């Protein structure tokens, strides 16, 4: 997914009525795994697909959630932690449409994806932008815009 992680977190936060720090956790968590792009471009010189870094590996998040959630379960941070891990899971699911995620790691390091986007253009990004799966991203943006305007109309934009 190229562009719609941020609005996907916004949509999920709005749909669930999350507010304040929980809503912020949804927004941050929705984009957080892509922080590895900094390492990908500025340190690793694009040596491997950035979905192979640990922040895009479901097993890493499963371990972190299995430690964090029980600790926070009885605290006031429970909903924040739940929201955070849900949007992380959503990020990985959305990246599975055309990008691929190592859902079976550490047992299998294959990038699992629903659709293979063929390199039809000379620049890889145009192959993704012109592929039918990009319509899904457009729909997420439209839905986020709808939710924003709906809130604005009702004076509930935060």
Applying CB under 5 A, the residues found at the interface with Zn ion are: 33-34, 95
Q: How far is CA 127 from the centre of its chain?
A: 20
Q: Residue 158 Cβ, how far from Zn ion at the closest point, in Å?
A: 26
Q: Residue 51 Cβ, how far from Zn ion at the closest point, in Å?
A: 7
Nearest residue (CB) to Zn ion, 34 versus 137: 34
Sign of CA dihedral 75, 81, 86, 87: positive
Distances (CA, A) of 129 to 1, 47, 113, 132, 140: 10, 23, 17, 8, 14
Q: Residue 133 Cβ, how far from Zn ion at the closest point, in Å?
A: 14
Q: Residue 68 Cβ, how far from Zn ion at the closest point, in Å?
A: 20
Nearest residue (CB) to Zn ion, 79 versus 127: 127
Nearest residue (CB) to Zn ion, 33 versus 58: 33
Spatial separation of the C-alpha atoms in residues 123 and 141, rounded to whole Å: 23
Nearest residue (CB) to Zn ion, 82 versus 101: 101
Buried b (16+ CB within 10 A) or exposed e, 91-129: bbebbbbbbbbbbebeeeeebebeeebeeeeeeeeebbe
Q: Residue 72 Cβ, how far from Zn ion at the closest point, in Å?
A: 24
Peptide bond into 106 cis (omega under 30): yes
Nearest residue (CB) to Zn ion, 83 versus 90: 90
SS3 112: strand
């Amino acid at each position: 997914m190229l562009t719609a992680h941020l609005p996907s977190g916004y949509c999920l936060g709005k749909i669930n009525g999350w507010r304040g720090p929980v809503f912020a956790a949804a927004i941050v968590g929705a984009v957080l795994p892509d922080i590895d792009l900094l390492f990908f471009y500025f340190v690793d010189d694009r040596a491997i697909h950035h979905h192979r870094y640990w922040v895009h590996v479901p097993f890493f998040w499963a371990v972190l959630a299995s430690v964090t959630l029980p600790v926070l379960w009885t605290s006031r941070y429970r909903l924040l932690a739940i929201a955070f891990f849900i949007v992380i899971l959503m990020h990985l699911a959305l990246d599975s449409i055309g990008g691929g995620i190592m859902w079976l790691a550490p047992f299998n390091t294959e990038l699992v994806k629903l659709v293979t986007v063929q390199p039809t253009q000379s620049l890889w990004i145009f192959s993704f932008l012109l592929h039918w799966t990009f319509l899904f991203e457009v729909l997420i943006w439209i839905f986020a815009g709808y939710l924003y305007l709906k809130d604005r109309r009702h004076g509930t934009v935060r």
